[in-house]
């Protein structure tokens, strides 16, 4: 019966990644069940009765095993996750492309400069919000063991997530810069010297990148 208990727990962990943490948890469960099985025998129960009692008291292991699987977020995303990511990115890119058009059309056709500016920033805000949500909603990698490999996986997952977030914010920033450039030129005719806007924007982006990198370094 002890071998039957061991087989039951082993089968429950068949789909769980073979890590040190999962192996230790599996052995701990087996040890506890064997101890309870022996206690039931001492109480005068037969082996079959003792086995049925300890297995019934174990409950549903699926929640535990699923939580161990969720730790491994560096594996390939599911088809559903890929479709969701593609849809969010496609909508965001579309809104980015339409944002300067909203400014130009509203200003030129309806002669509503302020409304056009508001529409442009609204499109950019929604697109950026979607990209940030898409990145932030991805699960955080949780290392299974205190090993160098697991620490590297955790560091890489966090770095990739931060990199994607910065790229989304950077795209929104440059769209805003282009929109401001077009707005001040169409409104005030500053074409000869408005190019300085891009120099200032590049300096701001480099400062933001340095602050972002410093913050990540301190967090690591």
Gap between the Cα atoms of 70 and 126, Å rounded: 30
Q: Residue 68: which of 17, 140, 26, 27 has the closest Cα?
A: 17
What is the domain extent for residue 50?
2-70
CA nearest to 115, candidates 124, 125, 104: 104
84 and 188 part of one domain: yes
The 3-state secondary structure of the chain reads: CHHHHHHHHHHHCCCCCCCHHHHHHHHHHHHHHHHHHHHHHHCCCCHHHHHHHHHHCCCCCHHHHHHHHHCCCCCCCCHHHHHHHHHHHHHHHHHHHHHHHHHHHHHHHCCCHHHHHHHHHHHHHHHHHHHHHHHHCCCCCCCCCCCHHHHHHHHHHHHHHHHHHHHHHHHHHHHHHHHHHHHHHHHHCCCCCCCHHHHHHHHHHHHHHHHHHHHHHHHC
Query: Do 92 and 46 belong together in one domain?
Result: no
Last residue of a domain, one of 38, 70, 102: 70
Provide the 3-class DSSP secondary structure of residue 16: coil
Q: Are residues 49 and 138 in the same domain?
A: no
pLDDT at site 29: 82
Distance CA 204, CA 210 (A): 10
Residues 108, 177, single domain; the answer is yes
Average pLDDT score over residue span 102-110: 78
Q: Is the overall model pTM greater than 0.75, yes or no?
A: no
Residue 176 is predicted with a pLDDT of 76
Question: Among 70, 95, 113, where does a domain finish?
Answer: 70
What's residue 60's pLDDT?
A: 66
Q: Does residue 127 register a pLDDT over 70? A: yes
pLDDT band at 73, cuts 50/70/90? very low
pLDDT value at residue 187: 73
Domains contained in the chain, number: 2
**Are 116 and 56 members of one domain?**
no
Model confidence at 36, pLDDT cuts 50, 70, 90, reads confident
Same domain for 57 and 95? no
């Amino acid at each position: 019966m002890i071998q039957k208990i061991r087989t039951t727990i082993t089968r429950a962990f068949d789909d769980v990644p073979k890590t040190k943490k999962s192996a230790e948890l599996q052995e701990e469960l087996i040890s506890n069940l064997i101890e309870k099985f022996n206690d039931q025998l001492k109480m005068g129960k037969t082996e079959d009765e003792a086995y049925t009692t300890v297995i019934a008291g174990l409950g549903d292991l699926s929640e535990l095993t699923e939580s161990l699987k969720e730790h491994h977020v560096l594996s390939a995303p599911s088809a559903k996750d890929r479709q969701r990511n593609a849809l969010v990115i496609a909508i965001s890119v579309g809104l980015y492309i339409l944002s300067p058009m909203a400014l130009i059309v509203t200003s030129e056709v309806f002669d509503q400069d302020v409304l056009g500016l508001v529409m442009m920033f609204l499109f950019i805000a929604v697109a950026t919000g979607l990209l940030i949500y898409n990145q932030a909603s991805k699960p955080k990698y949780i290392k299974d063991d205190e090993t160098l490999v697991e620490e590297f996986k955790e560091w890489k997952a966090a770095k990739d997530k931060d990199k994607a977030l910065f790229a989304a914010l950077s795209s929104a920033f440059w769209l805003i810069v282009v929109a401001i450039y077009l707005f001040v030129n169409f409104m005030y005719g500053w074409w000869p010297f408005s190019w300085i806007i891009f120099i200032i924007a590049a300096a701001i982006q480099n400062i933001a990148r340095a602050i972002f990198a410093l913050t990540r370094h301190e967090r690591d």
